[in-house]
Amino acid sequence: MIETVDAVIIGAGPAGAAAAASLRELGIASVLLDERPEAGGNIYRGALGGAFARSMSLGKDYASGAAWLREAISSGLDVRPSSAVSRIDADVVSYDSGGTIRRLRTRHLVLATGAIERAMPLPGWTLPGVMGVGAAQLLMKQSGLVPDGRYVLCGNGPLLLLLAKQLIDLGALPAAIVETGRRTPIRTAFSHGPALLEHRASVAKGLGFLAAIRQAGIPVYRDARSIRVEGDARVRAIRFTSAGQAHELAVDLVLCHEGIVPNIQLSLTLGCAHDWDDAQASFRPRVDAWGETSRPGTFAIGDCAGILGAAAAPHSGRLAALAIASALDRLRPAQRDQLASLERRHLLSERRFRHFLDDAYRPALSAQSPIADEVVVCRCERIAANEVRAAVRDGARGPAQAKVFTRCGMGPCQGRVCGPAVTRIIAEETGQSREEIGNYHPRFPLKPMVLAELATAPDEEADHADAA
Amino acid sequence: MPMQPECDVAVIGGGLVGVAIACGLRLAGVNTVLLDEGDAAIRASRGNFGLVWVQGKGDLLAPYTPWAREAGRVWPELARWLKEFTGLDVGLEQPGGVFLCMTEDDLAARAAQMARVAEQSAEPYEYEMVDSRRLRELVPQVGPKVAGASYSAYDGQANPIRLFRALHRAFVQLGGRYAPNAGVTAIERRSSAYRLKTADGEWTANRIVLASGLGNVGLGEQLGISIPVKPMRGQIMVTERLPQLFPLVMEQIRQTDDGTLLIGTSWEDVGFDLSTSYGTTRRIARNALDFVPMLRSVSVVRSWAALRILTPDASPIYDEIAPGAFLVTCHSGVSLAGNHVFATARWIADGRIPQNMRAFSRARFEPNHQERVA
- Which domain CATH number covers B267? 3.30.9.10
Same domain assignment for residues B341 and B305: no
Distances (CA, A) of B215 to A435, B137, B327: 25, 44, 11
Q: What would the DSSP string read from start to end of A375-443?
A: SEEETTTTEEHHHHHHHHHTT--SHHHHHHHH-TT-STTTTTTTHHHHHHHHHHHH---HHHH------
Same domain assignment for residues B237 and B302: yes
CA-nearest of A382, A403, A378, A381 to A392 is: A403
- Cα B297 to Cα B299: distance, rounded to the nearest angstrom: 6
Out of B36, B45, B298, the one facing A451 most closely (by C-beta) is: B298
- Residue numbers of the domain that contains B213: 7-50+161-229+313-373
Cβ–Cβ contact A452 with B under 8 A: yes
Strands A100-111, A298-300: pairing kind: parallel
- Cα B95 to Cα A10: distance, rounded to the nearest angstrom: 47
Degrees to nearest 5, angle at CA A178 with A177 and A179: 105
| Total number of domains in chain B | 2
CA-nearest of A318, A265, A433 to A26 is: A318
- Cα B144 to Cα A195: distance, rounded to the nearest angstrom: 70
- Measured between beta carbons, which residues in chain A are less than 8 angstroms from residue B46? 400-401, 404
Out of A396, A410, A450, the one facing B299 most closely (by C-beta) is: A450
Minimal C-alpha gap between A103 and chain B (Å): 11
- Cα B336 to Cα B322: distance, rounded to the nearest angstrom: 24
B110 alpha-carbon distance from chain centroid? 22
Query: For the stretch B125-162, what's the b/e string if a residue is b when 16 or more beta carbons lie within 10 angstroms of its beta carbon?
Result: bebebbebeebbebbeebbeebbbbbbbbbbbbbbbbb
Among B residues 2-21, those touching chain A with beta carbons less than 8 Å apart: 14
Same domain assignment for residues B171 and B287: no
Residue B165 included in any domain: yes
Minimal C-alpha gap between A105 and chain B (Å): 13
Q: pLDDT-based confidence at B374, cuts 50/70/90?
A: very low
Q: Which residue of B has its CA nearest to A413?
A: B301
Residue B356 included in any domain: yes
Instruction: Give B356's DSSP letter.
Output: G
Q: Is the pLDDT of residue B166 over 80?
A: yes
Q: Which of B276, B310, B344 is a domain's end point? A: B310
Q: What is the mean pLDDT of each run of 10 residues along chain A (468 residues)?
A: 95 98 96 96 91 87 92 91 96 94 96 96 96 96 93 96 95 96 74 91 93 96 94 97 96 97 97 95 97 98 98 97 97 97 97 94 79 94 96 94 95 92 94 93 92 92 57
Q: Do B289 and A452 touch (CB under 8 A)?
A: yes
- Cα A43 to Cα A61: distance, rounded to the nearest angstrom: 10
Predicted confidence at residue A464, as pLDDT, reads 62
Q: Do B39 and A399 touch (CB under 8 A)?
A: yes
Q: Which residue of A has its CA nearest to B86?
A: A394
Predicted confidence at residue A188, as pLDDT, reads 79
Same domain assignment for residues B329 and B225: yes
Q: Do A449 and B299 touch (CB under 8 A)?
A: yes
Predicted confidence at residue A185, as pLDDT, reads 64
Same domain assignment for residues B221 and B236: no
What interface predicted TM-score (ipTM) does this complex get? 0.91
Q: Which of B282, B310, B338 is a domain's end point? A: B310
Distances (CA, A) of B144 to B126, B133, B357: 26, 9, 42
Q: Indicate the Cα dihedral angle A259, A262, A263, A264, nearest 10°.
A: -140
Q: Which residue of B has its CA nearest to A457?
A: B282
Residue B79 included in any domain: no
Predicted confidence at residue B1, as pLDDT, reads 43
Please count the residue pairs, one from chain A and one from chain B, whose beta carbons lie less than 8 angstroms apart.
110
- Measured between beta carbons, which residues in chain A are less than 8 angstroms from residue B280? none
Predicted confidence at residue A302, as pLDDT, reads 98
Same domain assignment for residues B223 and B235: no
Residue B16 included in any domain: yes
Out of A400, A414, A444, the one facing B39 most closely (by C-beta) is: A400
Same domain assignment for residues B168 and B305: no
Same domain assignment for residues B333 and B223: yes
Q: Do B301 and A412 touch (CB under 8 A)?
A: yes
Same domain assignment for residues B277 and B335: no
Q: Do B39 and A410 touch (CB under 8 A)?
A: no
> Residues with Cβ < 8 Å from A381, sequence gap 6 or more?
A406, A407, A408, A409, A410, A411
Out of B46, B237, B258, the one facing A400 most closely (by C-beta) is: B46
Cβ–Cβ contact B145 with A under 8 A: no
Q: Do A87 and B279 touch (CB under 8 A)?
A: no
Predicted confidence at residue A53, as pLDDT, reads 86
Same domain assignment for residues B319 and B220: yes
Minimal C-alpha gap between B127 and chain A (Å): 32
Beta partners for residue B99, in sequence order? B150
**pLDDT tens digits for B317-369?**
999 999 999 999 999 999 999 999 999 999 999 989 999 999 999 999 988 77
Predicted confidence at residue B362, as pLDDT, reads 95
Cβ–Cβ contact A147 with B under 8 A: no
Same domain assignment for residues B259 and B353: no
Predicted confidence at residue B373, as pLDDT, reads 45
Residue B99 included in any domain: no
Cβ–Cβ contact A270 with B under 8 A: no
Minimal C-alpha gap between B160 and chain A (Å): 9
Cβ–Cβ contact B85 with A under 8 A: no
CATH number for B179: 3.50.50.60
> Residues with Cβ < 8 Å from B300, sequence gap 6 or more?
A445, A448, A449, A450, A451, A454, B237, B238, B239, B263, B285
Sequence letter at residue B305:
A
Q: Which of B310, B332, B349 is a domain's end point? A: B310
Q: Do A89 and B277 touch (CB under 8 A)?
A: yes
> In this prediction, what percent of chain B has a pLDDT beyond 70?
97
- Average pLDDT of the segment spanning B25-38: 96
* Other residues' Cβ atoms within 10 Å of the Cβ of residue B96: 18
Residue B253 included in any domain: yes
Q: Do A450 and B301 touch (CB under 8 A)?
A: no
> pTM for this one?
0.94
The residue among B164, B177, B282 with the most chain A CBs within 10 A of its CB, best to mutate, is: B282
Q: Do A455 and B282 touch (CB under 8 A)?
A: yes
Q: Is the pLDDT of residue B128 over 70?
A: yes
Residue B135 included in any domain: no
Residue B153 included in any domain: no
Same domain assignment for residues B205 and B335: yes
